[in-house]
Structure 1
Amino acid sequence: MTFSFSKTLKSTLLLILLLIFTNISKSSLDYTTLIYKGCGKQLSDPNNIYSQSLTTLTTTLIQQSSRSKFYKTTTGGPQSSISGLYQCRGDLNNNDCYNCVSKLPQISQNLCGKVVAARIQLLGCYMLYEVSGFPEISGMQMLFKQCSSTNVAGSGFEMRRDTALQVMQNGLVSGNGYSSTTYQGVYVLGQCQGDLGSSDCGLCVKSAVEKAQVECGSSLAGQVYLYKCFASYGYFPNGVPAKSEGYSSSGGGYSSGSGQNTGKTVAIIVGGTAVVGFIVIMALFIRGLKKKDDDF
């Protein structure tokens, strides 16, 4: 009786382990998790003129996201003009792009409320809007950076990372403003805003790469978002999972600050360690059950 119960318990635990591992992996790689938010000042809109224009704008952006990975437009009259855009990562298909972009307006509303400008960056897409007359921002301005707390100075990692970053930059022209590559376990990714020319794109990503190298130093992972491009890198010795670059986040944008939901993004390296630790614990537990069965 005990032997049969133990066998059943082992099978159940293995099934639970598989389900938990699958859910952790999916949540860690979710391209709709938040990287950062940027919120402008509160919008004075007593007659809801701008609110109507913003609703029209976001509806148009969502509709377009099922057909293209980048779209920019302006809505509203002379007194209520709002310009905005969205962009999806180059490796997302149209369906994933739509699913990502369709979440942005509600997230913006929850985190920023009614403001004169907002920028919401998810792992797989971002959206921004600005009312007419909002101060122009340089494409090279840094909005957000994140560096891993794990430092590997003296290990030769920086040389591998820098080689991978250079290969990524070289691929931007042929990749239409998007490029990713892996070199000796280092995964890098870069992307420019869709309306940026190839020359300006190259300069923008070069600036982002240089800032990542300086700001993050020997950190095992890092990402830098400028106004019109971004670059990120991470070390994945066992292979790169799909949609992988994501690190815990807060702040960034027009007036930086962490929101209630800004800590959602789970670092792959940290998440992977948790999964491995859980597997080891479960394996030892099952091993203990087997030993009891053998003794029985």
Structure 2
Amino acid sequence: MGVTRIPMFLLFLFVLFTSLELEPTHVAESASDYSTLVYKGCSKETFTDPNGVYSQALSALFGSLVSQSTKTKFYKATSGSGQNSITGLFQCRGDLTNSECYNCVSRLPVLCDKLCGKTIAARVQLLGCYLLYEVAGFSSQISGMQMVYKTCGATNAAGRGFEERRDTAFSMMENGVVGAHGFYTTSYQSLYVMGQCEGDVGDSDCGECVKNAVQRAQVECGSSISGQVFLHKCFVSYSYYPNGVPSRSSSFAGSSSSHSSGQNPGKTAAIILGGVAGLAFLVICLLFARSLKKKHEDY
């Protein structure tokens, strides 16, 4: 009487895969999506602080801003008094969670000190947030419409019609940012655009600022597949994704090539593992059935 033996590697596969929890794995978004440095602006003038008055006021200001970032995405405060006072603010990108906002803002005080030192005014912009401060009496004389930074993708869009599609997306964003009171994103034919104004800017002024930033982007970036334009009181950005806009875009990345097509590799792996486990189980069942049949025939 012969008995068909189940190959040991199939038995091993069955035990291994049936012991795994094949839940789809969610890939965590890298902190670099919002905490990468975009630009810095530092006053050329530093403050003399023999008694540590300014340092104490600045430290208190930073502490206040960071603590508020756990519950709001825009906050403005003043620390100190009279000529020793320092005013500052932070703003997070509108699509960040409270936790992401805090993680972003909490990096800024150290960066301000590292990048600018003890200057009487500074602004540091990360992908997802920015912080600025100025000592009392400092007059930046910067218009809200003044461009403080811009960058355009090195790759140009292939084919005709790209700029028309981009401008249509810009137009949708210009209208949307006013109705949404300062932050708006939208997708249109593989283009993802975003606009945001500083939190204390009114709707009408916000619309004008974003419109101005859009015009700068059109002129400065031309047919580049991505671009960012930061004015003093607002910014706009856009990215082109030939394979379709991912489920959650970070248009600050500067190039759509750095983003995935939106597929979840953890989920794909789970499906593959589940398929192999199922196949192994099927083979074992067939071999077992064949063994039983042979036993029956032998009797």
Q: 1:61 aligns with which of 65, 83, 87?
A: 65
Kindly indicate whether residue 257 of structure 2 is the aligned counterpart of residue 269 of structure 1.
Answer: yes
The equivalent residue for 2:206 is 201
Separation (CA, whole Å) in 2 of partners of 1:56 and 1:65: 15
Measured at CA, do residues 243 and 99 of structure 1 come closer, stay the same or move farther in structure 2, by a change above 3 Å? farther
The equivalent residue for 1:234 is 239
Q: Give 1:145-294 correspondences, 5 Å limit.
A: 145-152=150-157, 154-236=159-241, 237-247=243-253, 267-270=255-258
Separation (CA, whole Å) in 2 of partners of 1:96 and 1:35: 17
Gaps of 5+ in 2: 1-8, 10-26, 262-299
Measured at CA, do residues 183 and 28 of structure 1 come closer, stay the same or move farther in structure 2, by a change above 3 Å? farther
Q: 1:87 aligns with which of 84, 91, 113?
A: 91
Kindly indicate whether residue 34 of structure 2 is the aligned counterpart of residue 31 of structure 1.
Answer: yes
Contact persistence 1:86–1:125 (CA under 8 A): yes
Separation (CA, whole Å) in 1 of partners of 2:182 and 2:49: 37
Separation (CA, whole Å) in 1 of partners of 2:49 and 2:31: 39
Q: CA deviation at 1:28?
A: 7.9
The equivalent residue for 1:107 is 111
1:246 aligned counterpart, secondary structure: helix
Residue type of the alignment partner of 1:68: T
Q: CA deviation at 1:271?
A: 6.3
Contact persistence 2:101–2:128 (CA under 8 A): yes
Measured at CA, do residues 201 and 109 of structure 1 come closer, stay the same or move farther in structure 2, by a change above 3 Å? same
Q: CA deviation at 1:94?
A: 1.3
Contact persistence 2:240–2:256 (CA under 8 A): no
Q: 1:122 aligns with which of 103, 110, 126?
A: 126
Contact persistence 1:124–1:243 (CA under 8 A): no
Q: CA deviation at 1:210?
A: 0.3
TM-score, normalised with respect to structure 1: 0.74
Q: CA deviation at 1:53?
A: 0.5
Residue type of the alignment partner of 2:39: Y
1:141-161 deviations in Å (ceiling 9; x for gaps)? 100000011122652110110
Separation (CA, whole Å) in 2 of partners of 1:168 and 1:241: 18
Q: What percentage of residue pairs aligned between the two structures are identical?
A: 56
Separation (CA, whole Å) in 2 of partners of 1:227 and 1:186: 25
Separation (CA, whole Å) in 1 of partners of 2:31 and 2:102: 20
Separation (CA, whole Å) in 2 of partners of 1:112 and 1:33: 17
Equivalenced residues, count: 239
Gaps of 5+ in 1: 5-21, 249-266, 274-296
1:195 aligned counterpart, secondary structure: coil
The equivalent residue for 1:40 is 43
Measured at CA, do residues 187 and 243 of structure 1 come closer, stay the same or move farther in structure 2, by a change above 3 Å? closer
The equivalent residue for 1:50 is 54
Separation (CA, whole Å) in 2 of partners of 1:239 and 1:60: 37
